[in-house]
Amino acid sequence: MTKLLRVLAPAFAVVCVLSTCPAQQPAPQPLQAMPYSPSLDLTSLDKTVDPCVNFYDYACGGWKKKNPIPSDQASWDVYAKLANENQQFLWGILVDDAKKKDRTPIQQKVGDYFEACMNTAAIDADGDKPIQPALARIDALATRPELIAALPSLHHDYVGSSFFRSGTGQDAVDSSTVIAELGAGGIGLPDREYYLKTDPKSVKLREEYVAYITQLLTLSGEPVAQASTDAASVLRIETALAKASLTRVQQRNPHNIYHMMSIAEFEKLTPAISWPAYFAEQQRTGAPAIAKLNVSQPEFMKAVQSELTTEDLSALRAYLRFHLLSGAASYLAKPYAQTYFDFYSTTLRGVPAMPPRWKTCTRGVDRNLGEALGQEFVARTFSADMKAKTQLMTEQIETAMGQEIESLHWMSPATKAEALRKLHAIRNKIGYPEHWRDYTALEVKPDDYFGNTLRSMRFEEAREWNKLGKPVDREEWGMTPPTVNAYFDPQMNDINFPAGVLQPPLYDPKLDDAPNYGNTGATIGHELTHAFDDEGRQFDAKGNLRDWWTPADAKGFEERINCQRDQYAKYIIVDDIHINSRLTSGEDVADLGGTLLAYIAWKEQTKGEHLTDVDGFTPGQRFFVGMAQWACSNERPENQRVQAATDPHSPGFARINGIVSNMPQFQKAFSCKAGQPMVHTPTCKIW
């Protein structure tokens, strides 16, 4: 579900450490062509490090020194750098589309959205005018019944994250069906633990959060004393909601977040809200009536019931007012946008400077008109040959996965048969959708930035709600084509690789197979392995939540994955914070399994070829260096703390060293000897 007032996902991250701070760089310009970086970069190495002692620093030490964190980033890595280059290229497209006279409908929409976003003079002149009617409406809620009755339209029009979130999604038990869903929401800090921990840093951060709430309320016209009182009320309400929320580890178990209820049953749980009236708001967009829904966290909704019925009315109004302001702040005049940035980027993640406006606007177009802008990107960057080569690599890795499953000594024939059935049913989506999204009904104006954003969010909300009662569209993508990322969807049972992630240095058509299979191949294998990690394995070939494992095989899997959990739990992220391996275990398994599968596929691809050394590296060494260099990164300490609490991925150093320490193929390639750290870790073999 997409709402205007969601807290935007934080941007990628980074630190400029004294000697590595670069001289003043020229201002970035729109790109007319994508820059080139090799997938195996010799200058990114640090050959003073023994690869058998710390392979991550060996492969990435040079990269870390020459790539300090930009001032507008919380971290900086190979993925973020490529994403930045993609954005510069999109910037060039958008500048052209904003100026052209003879434009296609797609070029008109993306160009006008970008132009309106870039007009900061008009945005600043409007101040908070775009949300004043909603603020006035909240202030006019004189009784508790009035306030509760206003929630449906407030959610629909503005305050999508207050108290809870609603939307649609696939039924976990019947993946062919689209159902209504209700989930936890309504807190402004990154995670429930931020409200509950009592260490000095957590206490100080909550004080800074209260100061942020106070500042936003003051900007909107509240007297400082009243704003301070209201900020304390907001924190109190959010703390109550946080206490009732599941932890991130608990949410990784799909059974914990699947609770189908009829509307009548749900009303008994939360009688304060008229759910037929709430969902009637969505039916205005053409969505069908709702008879039942998945309530992902019933205990959380009990807390919502309690807050709505027992909390002081003025506190509830303050809470709604704040969430309206915080959700809209990034789209309003500079004082609001700066206040939002200062807390969520600087205080939380250590980012010193706001991103340049072109970057904010390019991201906005990609977020809200992604498949329109994506058509422009794909036409210029993603050839049929590149798609064919990626498809071949994917098929080879799937073949390797099938062979690995068949050879597992600890898995019974019954479970193997189900695993192979699931593997063979996985759909491969590469580059871009087969059918592009139709934005004809979305109005975009060159002089109405906030309106464009709000209309885009409402357009997407209506599109999602209108899926209700219709067959699941298995051709749909969850990422836009320029995105530098990839994913496995357990309910779709598909793996997805946007064109944006299939660019150099992640996929490099100029280089040999070794680094490409090590990098992109390991990524393909990573996403494929997610189908069989501790979360993905609970879904069957159709994407349904169904236990297809024998009890003995399930126990065997858990025993093996615990080996990796124990290993990763020893890694320190920052200060004295260790990796929460119960949170990261799915990604950790996918890293190791994906690299192994890519290695097997690479060996098969090059079987019979006479491979020679290049630049002093054997083919096997080139595979592993290519694999490692996708993870090169720098991180701000503040961001590392947030990531430790919220990110299911381990930090780059742990991901790379954790992989190679478990692969005899690596130890052989670099002639590592017993007693060195990369061979000291117990081998954890799952697949």
* DSSP, residue by residue, 38-62: -SS-GGG--TTS-TTT-HHHHHHHH
Residue that has been written with the tokens 């009637």 in this structure: 280
Round to whole Å and give the CA distance between 332 and 325.
9
Determine the residue type at 432: Y
User: What does pLDDT average to over the chain?
Assistant: 93
Flag the least confident range among 14-28, 208-222, 270-284, 388-402.
Answer: 14-28
Flag the least confident range among 7-16, 420-429, 528-537.
Answer: 7-16
Question: Using only C-alpha atoms, what is the Rg of the chain?
Answer: 25
- What would the mean pLDDT of 465-484 be, rounded to a whole number? 94
pLDDT of residue 375: 95
Q: pLDDT-based confidence at 420, cuts 50/70/90?
A: very high
Residue 143 CB coordination number (10 Å): 9
128 φ/ψ angles, rounded to the nearest 5 degrees: -105, 20
The domains found in the chain, sorted by start residue, are 129-331 (1.10.1380.10), 384-426+503-680 (3.40.390.10)
**Which residues 6+ apart lie within 8 Å of 494 measured at CB?**
426, 427, 428, 429, 474, 488
Round to whole Å and give the CA distance between 454 and 442.
11
| pLDDT over 90 percentage in the chain | 89
Angle formed by the axes of helices 313-328 and 144-157, nearest 10°: 10
**Among candidates 290, 295, 277, which has minimal Cα distance to 156?**
277
Residue 559 above 60 pLDDT? yes
**Among candidates 490, 363, 501, which has minimal Cα distance to 432?**
501
Residue 146 CB coordination number (10 Å): 11
Residue 256 CB coordination number (10 Å): 14
Spell out a b/e string for 73-99, using b for 16 or more CB atoms within 10 Å of the CB, else e: bbbbbbbbbbbbbbbbbbbbbbbebbe
Q: Respond yes or no on whether the N-terminal peptide bond of residue 505 is cis (omega within 30° of 0).
A: yes
- What would the mean pLDDT of 397-403 be, rounded to a whole number? 97
Residue that has been written with the tokens 């990435």 in this structure: 60
Tens digits of residue pLDDT in 350-388: 999 999 999 999 999 999 999 999 999 999 999 999 999
Residue 520 above 90 pLDDT? yes
- What would the mean pLDDT of 317-324 be, rounded to a whole number? 97
Round to whole Å and give the CA distance between 332 and 126.
8
Helix (H, G, I), strand (E, B) or coil at 316: helix
Distance of CA 585 to the CA centre of its chain: 17
**Which residues 6+ apart lie within 8 Å of 578 measured at CB?**
569, 570, 571, 572
* Cβ–Cβ under 8 Å, residues 602 and 400: no
Round to whole Å and give the CA distance between 304 and 186.
10
Tens digits of residue pLDDT in 23-63: 456 788 999 889 999 999 999 999 999 999 999 999 999 99
* Cβ–Cβ under 8 Å, residues 407 and 400: no
Residue 145 above 80 pLDDT? yes
- What would the mean pLDDT of 588-592 be, rounded to a whole number? 96
What tokens were used for 344? 């969520």
pLDDT of residue 665: 95
pLDDT of residue 360: 98
pLDDT of residue 26: 73
- What would the mean pLDDT of 581-606 be, rounded to a whole number? 96
Report which of residues 476 and 681 the model is more confident about. 476
pLDDT of residue 316: 98
Round to whole Å and give the CA distance between 444 and 457.
12
pLDDT of residue 16: 40
pLDDT of residue 387: 94
Kindly tell me the sign of the dihedral angle through the C-alpha atoms of 354, 357, 359, 360.
positive
Residue 7 above 90 pLDDT? no
Question: What is the per-residue DSSP string for 579-600?
Answer: P-HHHHHHHHHHHHHHHHHHHH
Spell out a b/e string for 305-315, using b for 16 or more CB atoms within 10 Å of the CB, else e: bebbeebeeeb
* Cβ–Cβ under 8 Å, residues 213 and 327: no
| pLDDT over 70 percentage in the chain | 95
What tokens were used for 472? 């699941």
Residue 9 above 50 pLDDT? no
Q: pLDDT-based confidence at 3, cuts 50/70/90?
A: very low
390 φ/ψ angles, rounded to the nearest 5 degrees: -70, -40
Round to whole Å and give the CA distance between 674 and 154.
63
- What would the mean pLDDT of 164-189 be, rounded to a whole number? 95
Flag the least confident range among 155-159, 476-480, 508-512, 513-517.
Answer: 155-159
Round to whole Å and give the CA distance between 52 and 59.
11
Residues counted in the chain: 687
Report which of residues 423 and 29 the model is more confident about. 423
Residue 411 above 80 pLDDT? yes
Residue that has been written with the tokens 């009890």 in this structure: 551
Kindly tell me the sign of the dihedral angle through the C-alpha atoms of 565, 567, 568, 569.
positive
**Among candidates 177, 21, 109, 172, which has minimal Cα distance to 436?**
109
* Cβ–Cβ under 8 Å, residues 501 and 523: yes
Helix, strand, coil: what percent of the chain each, to 5? 55, 10, 35
Q: How far is CA 607 from CA 513, 610, 663, in A?
A: 12, 9, 20
pLDDT of residue 160: 61
* Cβ–Cβ under 8 Å, residues 15 and 68: yes
